[in-house]
Structure formats: C-alpha cells, structure tokens
Structure 1
Amino acid sequence: MQAIDKRSDSRSLFVAAAPAKVFAAISDPAQLALWWGPDGFRNTIQQFDFQPGGTWRLTMHGPQGEAYPNESRFTRIEPDGLVEIEHLSGHHFILRIELRPIEGGTQIHWLQTFDTVEHYKPIAQFIATANEQNLQRLAAAVLRSQGNVS
C-alpha cells in the first residue's frame, strides 16, 4: 500500500465557533448545500441519510452551469467530532473531517485520501485549491450562522 501522505490532500483551519456549530454545518443538508464545494459552486441535494452507511447524493452546479452528479456514503460519524465520507462516483476517495475543540473555537482537519498516487497526482493542484476554498466556505457559513459575518 502506498503511503497516505503521497496520495492525500491535508488541510487545517481554525474557526471561532464551537465544534457543535461546525458539526451542524456539516450534518444539516440545508446548511451543507450553502457551502459545499469550491468557489462559485452551488448544490442540489437529492438524498442525505446522515448515519454510518447512509447515502449522500447531490448535484454540484459549476459556475458555468455544469452539473456534476455525486454519490457518497457516510462511513463514520462521531457527533461534534468526526465525519468520514467515501466518495463513490467519479474519483474514488475517503474524506475525513475531524473537529478538535481548542480555546476559542474549533480546529478543522480535512484529509482527502485517494486510492493511489497515480490517481491523485494529476489532480493534486486542483484538489488543493478546491479543498482550501471548501474549508473557507465552511468557516464563513459557520460564522454567518452565529451572526459574526454578513
């Protein structure tokens, strides 16, 4: 098996909000639809069965009107602490979102791991940019929900 660090994108971001607030933005499909994906994307969620083994189907709509159907399943959920998702359509990967309480808020750790280095390497730069934007959008959505950002 190839080393995880050679086939993964790892990100971390501090949000001045409790883990429960961040978890709510991930576990509530109405909130999730507002921030999921890179800049310029919006989402239509068809199915969101938020439990281990549950299916998540959505269509991501790109800035030029492109439609990207996605299907995933939730593999592990720990309230206010962890969500793990297996992406089943298109690029196969495991996304692990870990929420760690720290003074003043939550440290979000985002780890997206692909099956092989050969699969990951050609899309690594796109994934890095998209994941950074995704985390920034998540943080903004959480802060908006608290009334901290307009």
Structure 2
Amino acid sequence: MSSAEADREIVISRLINAPRELVFEAFTEVRHLSQWWGPAGFSTKTRSFEFRVGGDWDFVMHGPDGTEYQEWITWSEIDPPARIALAHGESRDDPNAFSSVLTFEPAGERTRIVMHTLFPTKELRDEAVQKYHAIEGGEQTLHNLATYVAELTGRDVD
C-alpha cells in the first residue's frame, strides 16, 4: 500500500467468539444486521436490502440524540464466508462514499474480522475520524456484533 493510501485508510479488527460462518451470516442477513449494526446507542432501520454483488442496502441510522443518518451500501464483492467488499455513503451517487473490505479469518473456534476502509481523500478520512468518531464507532459496531453473536451461541463475549 502506498503512503497516500495509508493516509486515507482506517483499519479496525476484532476477535469474535463465534464460528466464521455465523459471523459472516450476521453481517449479510438483514434480520441479523438490524439487531447490532451501528455504534453504541444507535439503531438501524432498513428501507431496502438486497445482498448480492451490485445489490444495495438502503437504511437509516438513528443516533442516541435523535439525529437520523441516511446511509447506503452497495456490495461489490461477496466471497462467503471469507470476504465482502462494499461502497458506503449517504446515497448511491455520493461522491464522498468510502470503500470497505471486510475479511473473516478463522481463528480456532473464533473469527477475526478485519475492516479495511479507504476514503477518497485524506481530508474525508480525517473528517470521519474527528467529526464522526469513525474509529470509536467502528470498534463499538464490532463490539455490538460480538455481543449479538455471543447471545446467539451462548458463548462469552471476548
């Protein structure tokens, strides 16, 4: 990776105490996503969801302060249960949309999920980190995922 890309990237990972297939499923089925997606205190309402390459997830995240965030994800690569690539913005044609690649790596009976997010510019990455707390929000989102799958499996949260 070039240093120019490193300046535009955020990488977040978490070890989740669940099998890779279940963690992947929790990330790819709307009945699961609506239970855990978003940072602490947020809820998610799906308007439409089609999990396939070229398909979209149109949703609204409701912040704890009542703010609504219009969100749109388009799936660009799906390789079950190992990898998902997507574009994420406020709408389908958002010029500031960022791309993410999620990998689901087996770690014994656990799964390491790694989110590589690349922003169009360093300035957009910095704004996401400073104004929207993207790193903390990403870590909280993965914590919510870990908590959710722990409830499904009866395992402890790592």
TM-score range relative to shorter protein: over 0.9
Shift of 1:53: 0.3
Gaps of 5+ in 1: none
- Tell me the TM-score normalized by structure 2: 0.88
Structure 2 counterpart of 1:68, one-letter code = Y
- Partner SS, residue 3 of structure 1: helix
Contact 2:59 2:71 survives alignment (8 Å): yes
Structure 2 counterpart of 1:96, one-letter code = V
Matching residue within 141, 144, 151 for 1:144: 151
* Residue equivalent to 1:15: 16
* Residue equivalent to 2:103: 98
* Residue equivalent to 1:25: 26
Moved over 6 A (4+): none
User: Share of identical aligned residues, percent?
Assistant: 29
Shift of 1:115: 0.5
Distance in 2 (alpha carbons) for counterparts of 1:73 and 1:2: 27
Shift of 1:72: 1.6
Identify the range of structure 1 (22-31 vs 82-91) with the bigger mean alpha-carbon deviation: 82-91
Matching residue within 116, 120, 130 for 1:115: 120
**How many correspondences in the alignment?**
150
* Residue equivalent to 2:54: 53
Shift of 1:57: 0.2
- Tell me the TM-score normalized by structure 1: 0.92
Contact 2:87 2:98 survives alignment (8 Å): yes
* Residue equivalent to 1:36: 37
- Partner SS, residue 121 of structure 1: helix
Contact 1:43 1:58 survives alignment (8 Å): yes
